[in-house]
């Protein structure tokens, strides 16, 4: 009475249902993890230059240069549902023109199996740290924060901010020499 195709369809439907239940179990078993770790960020150099912004109106804007140290142990974030971490360092500050400014200045992808201990010394910002005006010179409250997105095997993509941050003070004068 049952043909080969109807039996294959029943096996396929059962297999698909079993995989869906296992995937939900994988997601649910790690849903309530806090995914937090202590982070230590220290800035070693902060300079600001006044350079033309060629992409916009060619008027001069502030360009910040930062060197920093990062120490963090990300091993306790990795579990059997974490495929990789997208880690990024943001600089957040306030200017008279804008209440909140956020700039990503460095990032890294940590895959499962990579060394999950971050111990970087005197690294430079990976991306340009432009301000749309003159908000970096003399700014004494630029906050560096490490954050990460967890890329799971199954489930949502949580965004986590680290527990530690660091405040950077930019100098009151523009740096006029060439940056190496």
pTM score, whole prediction? 0.83
What tokens appear for 167 in the block?
């405040």
42: which residues sit within 8 A by CB, 6+ positions away? 68, 69, 166
Output phi, psi for 149, to 5 deg: -105, 135
Identify whether the C-beta of residue 116 lies closer than 8 Å to the C-beta of residue 35. Answer: no
pLDDT at 179 over 70: no
Examine the pLDDT at 97 and tell me if it is beyond 90. Answer: no
Mean pLDDT of 43-66: 82
Task: Label residue 57 by pLDDT band (50, 70, 90).
Answer: low
Domain regions of the chain by residue span: 1-32, 33-168
pLDDT digits (tens, 9 = 90+) for 114-132: 998 999 999 999 998 888 8
Q: Which CATH number fits domain 33-168: 2.60.40, 2.60.120, 3.30.1360, 1.20.120?
A: 2.60.40
Q: In what order do the strands lie in the sheet with 82-93?
A: 101-111, 82-93, 142-152, 159-168
């Amino acid at each position: 009475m049952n043909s080969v195709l109807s039996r294959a369809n029943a096996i396929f439907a059962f297999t698909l249902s079993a995989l869906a239940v296992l995937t939900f179990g994988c997601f649910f078993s790690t849903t309530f993890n806090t995914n937090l770790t202590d982070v230590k960020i220290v800035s070693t150099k902060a300079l600001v230059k006044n350079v033309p912004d060629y992409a916009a109106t060619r008027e001069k804007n502030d360009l910040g240069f930062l060197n920093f140290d990062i120490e963090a142990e990300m091993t306790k974030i990795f579990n059997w549902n974490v495929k990789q971490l997208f880690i990024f360092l943001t600089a957040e500050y306030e200017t008279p023109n804008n209440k909140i400014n956020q700039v990503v200045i460095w990032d890294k992808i940590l895959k499962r199996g990579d060394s999950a201990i971050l111990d970087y010394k005197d690294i430079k910002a990976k991306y340009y740290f432009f301000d749309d005006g003159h908000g970096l010179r003399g700014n004494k409250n630029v906050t560096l924060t490490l954050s990460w997105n967890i890329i799971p095997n199954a489930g949502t993509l949580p965004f986590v901010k680290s527990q530690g941050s660091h405040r950077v003070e930019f100098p009151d004068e523009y740096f006029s020499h060439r940056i190496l």
